[in-house]
């Protein structure tokens, strides 16, 4: 018989307990307009919680956020936790149509956005009859249907003097956070996380791998709407009473270099593509002198890239594997034990198995599918029963990755167990990109595969069969994809071919296309690849 879940609220754990410990004066958030103490963050979180309750939200209802990394995004997430609501931060790189599909899927009552995404969010609310309020941070005034109340942030949180929201009587198992992932099917789906999952990743990876402490300052390339980013910029620093550095702009090497110089972070979180971009940007070798440790996730970190980074900047990078479904990293190298080209060892608090297609656990040296078990695993996908049963198998999560473990217990990634690919650490469905290519009037067939660039990082490359008399160029097709999809999904290169390889029954032979791409060479030179992708936020999954 299972024990009842204990009282617990993630907002109280991350913020309020530091006031109880006498650290309310310590800086919690550093951003372009100044510093925010833990006492100020607690007060603003309570104010946002009260505002959400004042407009009629009820327990377990969803608050969707399409926002840049600002204090308002952080307090909206924490305010939702405090009020017993579910925070749903979503990608700011999506189109209005893509946002609308997610908004309708999650059934959010309230959508909060920063002004640069207001137009897309105005389009998105048209797709969901559940939305009652659109809250806008900034000066934008997007058009909304009559059924939707549009509120400026100042009016939402202060103009009507909402009472501070009381701390909801949540328990460890209360839903707190939904994070959307394309996962293994390419269809966006929400991994549902409990309040206690947040504490678990802080007590495992945060404390036992990062060794985070109150004097740390955290700067993350990955944004707060990613599982990787929300851990780096919210959960880990706040759980330790440390400081998070928030940067709302697109993270180019130049922008990040500016913040590193100004704020002197001690923990730096990036992805392989961005590390390559920083090297290509020819930044000074002493730039990272304040950083005691760098972290990489989102895709495997190639050993040569690791060595070049460490030689130039003099900072260790620990590479790890996590997923949206596990909330953060569960397999990682250690600061004092780095295996270049590997994902390291299981994070304390997690169990891993490598299984064959029959579910038998494989011995060291034999590859198979990776499974993970731990307390931060999501409870499942929202309204995706069949997929949930396939991915969440009892206490175990099927990661979809193929791994091998050596005799020392160190794990090495061999790739995905399906046709999904990652672009800059973000899962991309080939089918979605192929569908967009085929929308072009000059394209009659399309296939998209991942091709390593000069740094060994996968980038989407499209192979197309053009209609007779077509005039579209590869550059035209890349631009067409960028107009209709989030930019990170667009192919970096398009190749026109006479035919695509298929089986006798007409099925696409994707492995032959990968062979064609490999024979043609890398997806692009390292400098060009870095320049095109360095501005893209990254994710664990």
Residue 541 banded pLDDT, cuts 50, 70, 90: very low
Q: State pLDDT tens for residues 93-107.
A: 899 999 999 999 999
Tell whether pTM > 0.75: yes
Nearest to 454 by CA among 337, 372, 532: 532
Quick check: helix, strand or coil at residue 402? strand
Query: Counting beta carbons within 10 angstroms of the beta carbon of residue 4, is it exposed (0 to 12), middle (13 to 18) or buried (19 or more)?
Result: exposed
Q: State pLDDT tens for residues 463-507.
A: 999 988 899 999 999 999 999 998 888 999 999 999 888 754 456
Q: Could you please report the per-residue DSSP string of 443-455?
A: EEEEEEEEEE-TT
Query: Counting beta carbons within 10 angstroms of the beta carbon of residue 353, is it exposed (0 to 12), middle (13 to 18) or buried (19 or more)?
Result: middle
- Asked whether residue 537 carries a pLDDT value surpassing 70, the answer given is no
Which domains are delineated in the chain?
10-191 (3.40.50.980), 193-416 (3.40.50.12780), 421-533 (3.30.300.30)
CA atoms of 30 and 106, how far apart (whole Å): 31
CA atoms of 262 and 195, how far apart (whole Å): 34
CA atoms of 226 and 28, how far apart (whole Å): 20
pLDDT of residue 390: 94
Secondary structure in 3-state letters for 58-110: CCCCEEEEECCCCHHHHHHHHHHHHHCCEEEECCCCCCHHHHHHHHHHHCCCE
Task: Give 472's Cβ-side CA count (13 Å radius).
Answer: 25
CA atoms of 29 and 244, how far apart (whole Å): 5
- Asked whether residue 518 carries a pLDDT value surpassing 90, the answer given is no
Please list, in sequence order, all residues whose beta carbon lies within 8 angstroms of the beta carbon of residue 254, skipping any fewer than 6 positions away: 281
DSSP code, position 171: B
CA atoms of 99 and 91, how far apart (whole Å): 8
- In this structure, the chain runs to a length of 541
CA torsion 102-444-449-523 (nearest 10°) is -110
pLDDT of residue 185: 45
Q: State pLDDT tens for residues 231-254.
A: 999 999 999 999 999 999 999 999
Residue 184 banded pLDDT, cuts 50, 70, 90: very low
Rg, Å, the chain Cα set: 23
Q: State pLDDT tens for residues 98-155.
A: 999 999 999 999 999 999 999 999 999 999 999 999 999 999 999 999 999 999 999 9
Which whole number is the average pLDDT over 79-104? 95
pLDDT of residue 528: 31
Min mean pLDDT across 15-24, 90-99, 180-189, 440-449 is at 180-189
């Amino acid at each position: 018989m299972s024990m009842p879940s204990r009282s617990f609220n993630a907002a109280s754990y991350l913020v309020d307990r530091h006031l109880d410990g006498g650290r309310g004066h310590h800086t919690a958030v550093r951003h372009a307009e100044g510093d925010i103490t833990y006492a100020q963050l607690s007060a603003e979180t309570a104010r946002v919680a009260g505002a959400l309750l004042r407009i009629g939200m009820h327990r377990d209802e969803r608050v969707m956020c399409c926002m840049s990394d600002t204090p308002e995004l952080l307090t909206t997430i924490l305010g939702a936790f405090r009020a017993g609501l579910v925070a749903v931060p979503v990608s700011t790189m999506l189109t209005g149509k893509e946002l609308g599909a997610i908004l309708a899927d999650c059934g959010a009552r309230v959508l909060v956005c920063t002004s640069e995404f207001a137009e897309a969010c105005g389009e998105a609310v048209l797709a969901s009859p559940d939305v009652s309020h659109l809250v806008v941070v900034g000066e934008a005034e997007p058009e909304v249907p009559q059924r939707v109340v549009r509120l400026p942030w100042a009016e939402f949180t202060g103009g009507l003097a909402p009472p501070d929201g009381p701390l909801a009587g949540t328990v460890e198992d209360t839903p707190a956070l939904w994070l959307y992932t394309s996962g293994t099917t390419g269809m966006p789906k929400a991994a549902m996380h409990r309040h206690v999952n947040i504490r678990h990743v802080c007590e495992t990876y945060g404390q036992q791998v990062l060794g985070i402490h109150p004097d740390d300052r955290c700067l993350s390339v990955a944004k707060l709407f990613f599982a990787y980013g929300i851990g780096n910029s919210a959960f880990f620093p706040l759980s330790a009473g440390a400081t998070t550095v928030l940067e709302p702009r697109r993270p180019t090497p130049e922008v990040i270099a500016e913040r590193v110089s100004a704020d002197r972070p001690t923990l730096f979180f990036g992805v392989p593509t961005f590390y390559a971009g920083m090297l290509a940007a020819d930044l000074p070798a002493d730039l990272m002198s304040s950083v005691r440790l760098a972290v990489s996730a989102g895709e495997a970190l190639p050993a040569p890239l690791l060595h070049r980074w460490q030689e130039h900047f003099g900072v260790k990078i620990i590479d790890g594997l996590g997923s949206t479904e596990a909330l953060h990293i569960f397999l990682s190298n250690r600061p004092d034990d780095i295996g270049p080209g590997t994902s390291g060892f299981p994070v304390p608090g997690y169990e891993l198995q490598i299984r064959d297609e029959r579910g038998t656990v494989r011995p060291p040296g034999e590859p198979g599918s990776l499974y993970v078990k731990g307390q931060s695993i999501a409870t499942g996908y929202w309204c995706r029963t069949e997929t949930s049963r396939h991915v969440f198998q009892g206490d175990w999560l099927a990661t979809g990755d193929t791994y091998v473990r050596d005799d020392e217990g160190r794990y090495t990634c061999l790739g995905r167990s399906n046709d999904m690919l990652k672009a800059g650490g973000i899962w991309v469905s080939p089918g979605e990109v192929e569908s967009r290519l085929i929308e072009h009037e000059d394209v009659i067939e399309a296939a998209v595969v991942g091709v390593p660039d000069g740094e060994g990082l996968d980038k989407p490359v499209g192979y197309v069969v053009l209609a007779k008399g077509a005039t579209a160029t590869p550059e035209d097709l890349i631009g067409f994809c960028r107009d209709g999809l989030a930019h990170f999904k667009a192919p970096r290169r398009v190749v026109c071919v006479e035919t695509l390889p298929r089986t006798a029954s007409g099925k696409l032979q994707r492995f032959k296309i990968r062979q064609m791409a490999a024979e043609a060479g890398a997806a692009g030179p390292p400098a060009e690849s870095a320049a095109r992708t360095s501005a893209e936020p990254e994710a664990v999954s």
